[in-house]
Structure 1
Amino acid sequence: MDVFNHYLPWTYKRLSLLPESIWQQLFSPSENVEQDQTYPITNLMVLLYQKITNECDLSTFKKRASLVRWYEIYGKSIFNIEELETKLNYQTQKRREPLKSNGVNLVGYSRGRLGLGEDLRAYAELLKHKGIAFSIVHIGHPTDDPLSFSSPFENGVIFDKSIFFINAIEAAKLLEVVEDLSATFGYTTIIPPWELEHAPEEWAETLDSFDEVWGISHFTTKALSRVHASVKYSAPVVLPCKYESEKRKKNTSPFRFLFVFDAGSYIERKNPLATVQAFQLAFAKNENVELVLKVSNSSDTEHWEKVKLKSLSDSRIKIVDKLLTSSDLEQLWDSANCYVSLHRSEGFGRTIAEALVRKLPVIATAYSGSNDLFLDDYPLLVEFNLVMINKGEYPSSTNATWAAPNIESASALMRYVFEHCETEQINKWRESGAEHVQQNFMLHSKSRPLDGWNV
C-alpha cells in the first residue's frame, strides 16, 4: 500500500490518498488472525508488521504476542501511528494555535539509528546548550529505537522556524503531502546530506521551496550550490563522548583497527572491502593485529559477500553485525587503537569525527567532506584516484565520479601506525586531531548560520 511506503508526517492531504472506508478497514480487527491478545490485532498491525519484518506466520499465541509487542514499541514509532490516529479523529482540520517566535522546530528521524537521526539529536543538544527553546517533530524511520531515543521535547510544530534533517529525495515527497510549507512550518531550513561532487539538477525545484539551505561540509555546500543560489555552510554538531573509559586497552591485546559504518548508506560508498584488502596487505597472519568491522543495516550485496568471505578465511578480521547498546558501543570504541575509513566519498564523516574526538589516530581517504575534519598537514590521509561510479552504486550518479583509495598507500599507513603508535609524533597527531574537531564541530563552534537567527 503506497501510502505506507514513505516515512513522512501525516497530513490531511496524505490521508486523502485513501478513502475513509479503507481507513476504517485498516483499523478494524483482522478476521484472518485469532484474537487472543490484550489488544485487538488490526489489519493495519498485520500489514505493517509484515512490511518491516517479512514475518507472515501468525499461527501461534507467541507469534501473535510478538506482533503486538513490536507494534506497541516499534511499529507505532516507525509509521507515526499516534499522529495518524489523531488526524483521522478529526473530520475537518482543527484550527491551529499561532506559531511561536521564540524557538525552533527540529524535523526529522529523531528516534532513528542513522546519521540524520544523530544530526537532529546533536542539534537538540546544541539548542539546549545555547538556551534556545526547541520542539522535536518526530518522523518515523525503519531504524527507530524508541526505547533509546524518545525525547520529552517531542511536541510537534509549535515555533515559526523549522530545520529539516532529511535528504532532498524525501523533501520532495514531503512537499507533495503538505498543502503549504510556510503556513505549516514557518521559516524553513533544510540540511540535506549529499556525498558527491555535483548535486542532481532535479533537486533545484525542491530546494527552492525552502527559505534556507545549509551544507554539512564545504564539499557538500559546493555541490548544493550548483542547484541552489545561496547555500550556507553549517558545521554539524559532534557531541562529547558519553562514557569515560574505565581502563586503557592492555598492551598485550591485539592491536585493533576499527571501522564503524552503516551499510544502508550505500556499502560501495563506505567501501569496507578496501579496508580489508589494505589490512591483509599490511600484516602477516602471525602478527598480533586485528580488524573489527562494526556494521549496521547489512544486506546480501556482492560487496558485502566479498567482505564476509575474506573474514571467514582470516581469523584476524571480525565482523560485529548486531545492534549494540550505547555502553557496549563505547566499549568497542575504547578497545580500538586506530580508526580506518577508506570511503569513496563522505558528506561529513560522523564516525571519523567521533574517532578523532576520542584521540584515535585516523587513516582516511583524502577526499570529500571528511577533509574538513583534518588539519591541512594531517599525515594519515590516503591517496586516491577519481573513478566513475557504476550503475546502482549510488542514486542520481550518472556520469559522476568518486574516490578509489590507493590500497598500497592505506596499507603503508596502517603499518606505520602499528609500529609507531605510542611515539610522541603520533600522540601529537592525536591531540591536534581532537583539538581541531573540538574547536570547529562541538557545541561552542561559531560556524553555524543559527548564530545569526533572532531566537
Structure 2
Amino acid sequence: MGIEIGMPRPIRRAMAFGLRLAPIAQRRACVKVVSLVAPRIAARLASVLEVHGSPWPSSFAALPLRPDAVAVWGYLRSEIGLGTAARGALEALRLTGRAAAGMDVPLPDRANVDYPVDAPSFRPGTNLAFINPPEILTGEAFFPHRALRGTRRIAHWAWELSHLPRAWLPAVDRFDELWAGSNFVAQAIAETTARKVEILPYVVSERELTPRAMARAAALGLPDEAFVFLCAFDFASHPARKNPTGAIRAFVDAFPATDPDGPWLIVKSHGAATTDIAAARIMEACGGHPRVRAIHSVLSRREMALLQDACDCIVSLHHSEGFGLNIAECMLAGKAAIATGYSGNMDFMDAANSYPVGYKLVDVRDAEYPHHQGQVWAEPDRDEAVELMRHVASRREEAQGRGAAARATILARFTAAAVARDWTRLLG
C-alpha cells in the first residue's frame, strides 16, 4: 500500500484501513504531523492517500480542455485562511471578464461556508492552486496535477517565516509557476527555490461599514466615548507567532487598571487552544485588568465586521505574518493600526497610514512553529508599543486621520477590483 516497508504488516494494514475511513482533513493533519518527524515515512504515506478519497473523478482527465479558461483551486467552502484567499482570488478573477471556474477542494469537517460551486465540465487551460505543499504531496486528492499536464499550473502558497521549509521543495516541480500573496512570502519562496515568484495579493473584501457607535452598542455594549483596541487571533494559527500576550501586556503596561475611564482592549480568539499552557499564558497576561475583555467564539462574518467597526485601533504585535488579513480588514474599515513593522503586513503599512512598531530579529525556538530550524522572526519593541498605544488613545483625531489614509491604501491596492488588475498583468 506504500506505507513504510519497515513496519510490521499488521500495522501497515491497520494504517491503510484507517486512512480509508478518515475524513480528508484528518488525513491532511496526519501528513503534516508525520512530515515534521519523518519525511521518508510521510512520502510513503502520501502514496496511500493518493488512492483514497480523491474528490476528482477518474473521468476528469477526459474532460475537454478549454485553453482560455482560468480556474482557482482551493477550500472554497471552508473558513480557513486559504479558503478565504481562494474565494477572494476568484472574485477578482471574475472581474477580468475571463472565463473563470472555482474548483472546490472538500474539507468535510471544515465546510462551513455557503459558497456555490459547479461540478467541473472542462479542464481549464490555467490553474491556480491555493493548496500548500503538504497537501500537494499527497498526490491527486487535493490537486489533480497529472490530469492537468499540458496546462499552466500555478501554485499560490501561504507561509509565515523567512525561509520556505525544505520539506516543501518536492512540490515545486509539480507547478510551472510560483505565486505568493506578499513580498515577504515571495522572497521566502524565491530564496529557497531559486525560482522567480510573482505576487498576486490577497483580496481584502469591501463591505458596508456600520457607524462606530451603532456597532459598539451591538457588539460590545460599551460607551461611544471609550477608546477601544482590538487584538484578534486564531489558536490554530500558532499563538506563539501571533503573540497576543505581547499586545495584552503592552496594554496592561500602558493603561492603569485603576482608571475607570481608560481605554479598553478586546481580545478576540477562536479555535481550540493548542495547549493548556497557551491559554493560561494569555489569561495570565490579562492580569485581571478590568478593561480587558476576552471573546472566545467563532463569529459570523457579519459579527466580526461589527466587532471591527466597534473598535478604534487594531493591535498586532505578531512575530511574523504571511500577509496580515485581519490588520488589512480593519484598515479598510478606516481604523488605526499598531502592528509589528515586519513581514507581510508591510506591503500595506507605513508611517503615513499606520503605526509600525520597531523590532529586532530573533531565532524561532523549538515548538514555537513548524520547521523552525534556521528561521528568524521579529521580537517587537514592547516599550515602543506601549507608547504608541498611549499616543493613539490620547490623539484620537490623528489616529482617525491615519485610519482614513489606511482605508485609501487598501482601496487602491487590495480590493477585488485592484487585484483584478494584477490578474490581468500576470495572465498576459
The TM-score bracket by the shorter chain reads: 0.7 to 0.9
- Contact conserved, 1:356 with 1:437, CA < 8 A, in 2? yes
Distance 1:157 1:269, change over 3 A: farther
Matched with 1:197 is: 162
Matched, 1:211 2:185: no
Matched with 2:75 is: 109
Cα distance in 1 for partners of 2:353, 2:226 equals: 26
- 1:120 paired residue among 86, 103, 124: 86
Distance 1:153 1:453, change over 3 A: farther
- Counterpart of 1:293, as a letter, is V
- 1:354 paired residue among 329, 336, 350: 329
Cα distance in 1 for partners of 2:182, 2:61 equals: 40
Matched with 1:285 is: 257
Q: How does 1:45-444 map to 2 (within 5 A)?
A: 87=57, 96-141=62-107, 144-146=110-112, 148-153=113-118, 155=120, 158-174=123-139, 180-181=145-146, 183=148, 186-226=151-191, 227-242=193-208, 244-245=210-211, 247=214, 249=216, 252=224, 254-287=226-259, 288-301=262-275, 302-311=277-286, 313-375=288-350, 377-378=352-353, 380-421=355-396, 423=397, 425-444=398-417
- Counterpart of 2:227, as a letter, is F
Alpha-carbon shift at residue 427 of structure 1 (Å): 2.6
Matched, 1:451 2:398: no
Distance 1:245 1:228, change over 3 A: farther
Cα distance in 2 for partners of 1:314, 1:439 equals: 39
1:404-430 Cα distance to aligned partner (Å, 9 max, x none): 111111111111111111x2x323211
- What's the secondary structure of 2:124's corresponding residue? coil
- Counterpart of 1:336, as a letter, is C
1:41-81 Cα distance to aligned partner (Å, 9 max, x none): xxx5xx659x79xxxxxxxxxxxxxxxxxxxxxxxxxx9xx
1:118-172 Cα distance to aligned partner (Å, 9 max, x none): 10111121122222222222223366243x3332446476312111112232222
Alpha-carbon shift at residue 195 of structure 1 (Å): 1.4
Distance 1:178 1:217, change over 3 A: closer
Alpha-carbon shift at residue 354 of structure 1 (Å): 0.2
Cα distance in 2 for partners of 1:232, 1:167 equals: 16
TM-score scaled by structure 2? Answer: 0.80
Distance 1:238 1:108, change over 3 A: same
Cα distance in 2 for partners of 1:278, 1:310 equals: 9
Cα distance in 1 for partners of 2:266, 2:129 equals: 34
- Contact conserved, 2:145 with 2:174, CA < 8 A, in 1? no
- Contact conserved, 1:254 with 1:290, CA < 8 A, in 2? yes
Cα distance in 2 for partners of 1:158, 1:262 equals: 36
- Counterpart of 2:166, as a letter, is E
**Superposed CA RMSD:** 3.5
| Higher RCO (C-alpha under 8 Å, 6+ residues apart) | 2
- What's the secondary structure of 2:252's corresponding residue? helix
Structure index of larger Rg = 1
- Contact conserved, 2:129 with 2:143, CA < 8 A, in 1? no
1:280-314 Cα distance to aligned partner (Å, 9 max, x none): 00001133322112112231422332102344722
- Contact conserved, 2:250 with 2:385, CA < 8 A, in 1? yes
Distance 1:179 1:371, change over 3 A: closer
Matched with 2:6 is: none
Cα distance in 2 for partners of 1:154, 1:107 equals: 13
Structure 1: gaps (5+ residues) = 4-16, 27-43, 53-78
Q: How does 1:1-20 map to 2 (within 5 A)?
A: none
Cα distance in 1 for partners of 2:173, 2:108 equals: 28
